[in-house]
């Protein structure tokens, strides 16, 4: 399961609208506990695939290293990634599958139709090797703002370590 706050969920979807008709991409920082990837923050990343940004994305490794460092400083891990599919369903493609290498992480896809965010789905990269990996449908739990007020501890993640 993927858990994230409403404001993070909205920010991911808004990012896809802002970059339309190009794909957006970013990194999810949080903690992974008992099969649940609990997101504390979504960090925007640049799409280096300027040659085909309408249907491809790639995050520069240097940027990933910086985000991983940021996570370390905050006691958080990389628990997933997100990107958008402009005018295309929120389902993983063969390209998404072939390029998915972070086993145990969540891959979030938002369909953006004519500039407006539609469905957002999450897929968990299961398996223990490249040979047996699989992208599995994963439920998304969005924490509403009011939940935080009633349950201050709520789904808030502080630090993994």
Chain residues binding another protein by CB under 8 A are 23, 25, 27, 32, 49, 52, 55-59, 61-62, 64-65, 68, 72, 77-79, 81, 83, 85-86, 88, 92-93, 95-96, 99-105, 107, 129-130, 161
Least Å distance between CB 78 and another protein? 5
Number of neighbouring beta carbons within 10 Å of residue 102: 15
> Residue 75 or residue 154: which is nearer to another protein going by CB?
75
Least Å distance between CB 156 and another protein? 20
> Residue 104 or residue 154: which is nearer to another protein going by CB?
104
Number of neighbouring beta carbons within 10 Å of residue 18: 13
> Residue 78 or residue 155: which is nearer to another protein going by CB?
78
d(C-alpha 13, C-alpha 86), whole Å: 12
> Residue 150 or residue 159: which is nearer to another protein going by CB?
159
d(C-alpha 119, C-alpha 133), whole Å: 24
Least Å distance between CB 136 and another protein? 15
Least Å distance between CB 109 and another protein? 8
**Sequence-ordered list of residues with C-beta below 8 angstroms from that of 19, at least 6 positions apart, any chain:** 47, 53, 84
> Residue 64 or residue 148: which is nearer to another protein going by CB?
64
Tokens of 124: 């968990």
Least Å distance between CB 113 and another protein? 12
- Check residue 136 and report its DSSP letter: E
d(C-alpha 4, C-alpha 22), whole Å: 24
d(C-alpha 107, C-alpha 13), whole Å: 14
């Amino acid at each position: 399961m993927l858990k994230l706050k409403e404001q993070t969920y909205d920010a991911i979807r808004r990012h896809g609208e802002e970059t339309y008709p190009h794909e957006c991409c970013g990194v999810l920082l949080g903690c992974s506990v008992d099969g649940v990837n609990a997101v504390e923050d979504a960090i925007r990343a640049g799409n280096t695939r300027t040659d085909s940004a309408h249907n491809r994305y790639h995050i520069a490794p240097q940027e990933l290293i910086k985000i991983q460092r940021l996570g370390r400083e905050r006691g958080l891990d990389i628990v997933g990634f997100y990107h958008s599919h402009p005018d295309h369903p929120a389902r993983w493609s063969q390209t998404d599958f072939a390029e998915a290498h972070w086993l145990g992480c969540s891959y979030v896809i938002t369909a953006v139709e004519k500039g407006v965010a539609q469905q957002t789905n999450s897929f968990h990269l299961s398996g223990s090797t490249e040979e047996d990996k699989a992208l599995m449908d994963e439920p998304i739990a969005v924490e509403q703002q009011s939940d935080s007020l009633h349950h201050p501890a709520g789904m808030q993640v502080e630090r993994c370590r």
